């Protein structure tokens, strides 16, 4: 491999970035000081130019970042094309508000989303139907699966050719899904904390794994909270596809779709055309971002 060759960052730990070259070799690299000076930070998923420090020891340097398709803040990742958002049907109970945070954040970066409700074997058909109904018009694929069954083959086919992000709270089965799709990852599977009713963290950092030719799967730490950062509250509506048919039909031009009379979106909720859970989550996120500006 020549100095300045192209590679991709698979993980970053302890000041080292592990870069996979086009030849399939992995080098432990330090990033040049110019990144800190320029306020840049290499991310897992970044394509980079790297130089060799010691070919035998597989040591190198990250010399330059190549242009990104996108960059996520939390989890910190770059060049993500598809997100698998994993939540459990039960044990732990899914936080649909957290799920909507993920959807808004990822859509703001142009990332397609697939909602994976895992552990379908532990719940009822009615509960599965409920999840499908809530997100039916949310412009996201909804799959209820059991990670320990043949359902995983559907996911393998879905991520073919993509760099896919695996994200969600702890204890929902992400490690099991990763192990089934990419056995060499050897991810540890956490147990549900009976006391807290949620999962223990098993993944400490984002890491990118090659599943097969042309496909990558990025595992990320489990999150129980997620911020939308400095996103203006007026922007959140853009990432609720159900609202689009009613935009511009409200009594007030600057309608927030949260409390105003004559709101076409709220009327659609009453008439059952927009699911009340989705609208309730939107209103909560809107108020959260509005209050954020006061501090």
Q: What band does 229 get if pLDDT is binned at 50, 70 and 90? A: confident
In whole angstroms, give the CA distance from residue 198 to residue 180: 22
Contact 210, 156 (CB under 8 A): no
In whole angstroms, give the CA distance from residue 186 to residue 182: 8
Q: What is the DSSP code (8-state) at residue 273?
A: S
Peptide bond into 75 cis (omega under 30): yes
> For the chain, how are helix, strand and coil distributed in percent, rounded to 5?
30, 25, 45
Query: Both 129 and 90 in a single domain?
Result: yes
CA triplet 287, 288, 292: central angle to 5 degrees?
Answer: 115
At 261-292, the pLDDT tens digits run: 999 999 999 999 999 999 999 999 999 999 88
Query: Both 141 and 280 in a single domain?
Result: no
Query: Both 189 and 50 in a single domain?
Result: no
Query: Both 33 and 157 in a single domain?
Result: no
At 48-85, the pLDDT tens digits run: 999 999 999 999 999 999 999 999 887 889 999 999 99
Q: What band does 191 get if pLDDT is binned at 50, 70 and 90? A: very low
Question: What total of structural domains would you count in the chain?
Answer: 3
CA end-to-end span of the chain, whole Å? 51
- What confidence score (pLDDT) does residue 200 get? 47
CATH code (residue 255): 1.10.40.50
For residue 275, is it within any domain?
yes
- What confidence score (pLDDT) does residue 113 get? 95
Write down which residue in 219, 252, 271 finishes a domain: 219
Query: Both 207 and 266 in a single domain?
Result: no
In the predicted structure, residue 198 carries a pLDDT above the cut 70:
no
For residue 211, is it within any domain?
yes
At 7-48, the pLDDT tens digits run: 999 999 988 999 999 998 999 999 988 787 778 889 999 999
Query: Both 127 and 178 in a single domain?
Result: yes
Contact 216, 157 (CB under 8 A): no
CA triplet 142, 126, 146: central angle to 5 degrees?
Answer: 50
The mean per-residue pLDDT over the stretch 218-228 comes to: 79
Helix (H) or strand (E) holding 103: helix 96-107
Of 67-81, 137-151, 191-205, give the lowest mean pLDDT range: 191-205
Write down which residue in 175, 192, 219 finishes a domain: 219
Helix (H) or strand (E) holding 38: none
Query: Both 61 and 91 in a single domain?
Result: no
For residue 226, is it within any domain?
no
* Token pair for 114: 């697939």
Query: Both 127 and 107 in a single domain?
Result: yes
Query: Both 258 and 124 in a single domain?
Result: no
Q: Which residues contact 127 (CB under 8 A, 6 or more apart)?
A: 89, 90
- What confidence score (pLDDT) does residue 220 get? 86
The mean per-residue pLDDT over the stretch 98-106 comes to: 94
Query: Both 93 and 171 in a single domain?
Result: yes
Query: Both 208 and 256 in a single domain?
Result: no
**Domain limits at 244?**
233-292
In the predicted structure, residue 156 carries a pLDDT above the cut 60:
yes
Q: Which of 226, 205, 267, 237 is nearest to 99 (CA)?
A: 226
Query: Both 209 and 125 in a single domain?
Result: yes
């Amino acid at each position: 491999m020549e100095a300045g060759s192209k590679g991709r960052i698979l993980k970053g730990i302890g000041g080292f970035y592990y870069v996979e070259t086009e030849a399939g070799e992995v080098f432990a690299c330090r990033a040049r000081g110019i990144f800190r000076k320029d306020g840049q930070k290499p991310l897992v998923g970044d394509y980079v130019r790297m130089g060799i420090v010691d070919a035998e020891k597989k040591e190198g340097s990250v010399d330059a970042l190549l242009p990104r398709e996108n960059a996520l803040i939390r989890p910190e990742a770059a060049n993500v094309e598809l997100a698998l958002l994993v939540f459990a049907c039960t044990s732990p109970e899914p936080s649909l508000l957290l799920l909507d945070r993920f959807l808004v954040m990822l859509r703001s970066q142009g990332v397609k989303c697939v909602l994976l409700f895992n552990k379908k074997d532990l719940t009822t058909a009615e509960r599965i139907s409920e999840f499908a109904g809530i997100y039916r018009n949310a412009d996201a694929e909804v799959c209820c699966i059991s990670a320990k069954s043949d359902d995983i083959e559907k996911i393998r086919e879905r991520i073919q050719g993509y760099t896919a992000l695996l994200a969600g709270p702890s204890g929902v089965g992400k490690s099991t899904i990763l192990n089934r799709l990419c056995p060499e990852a050897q991810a540890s599977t956490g147990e549900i904390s009976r006391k807290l009713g949620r999962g223990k963290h098993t993944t400490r950092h984002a890491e990118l794994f090659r599943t097969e030719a042309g496909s990558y799967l990025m595992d990320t730490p489990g999150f129980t909270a997620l911020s939308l950062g400095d996103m203006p509250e007026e922007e959140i509506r853009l990432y609720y596809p159900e609202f689009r048919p009613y935009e511009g039909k409200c009594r007030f031009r600057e309608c927030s779709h949260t409390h105003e009379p004559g709101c076409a979106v709220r009327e659609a909720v009453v008439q059952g055309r927009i699911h009340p859970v989705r609208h309730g989550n939107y209103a909560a996120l809107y108020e959260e971002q509005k209050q954020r500006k006061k501090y």
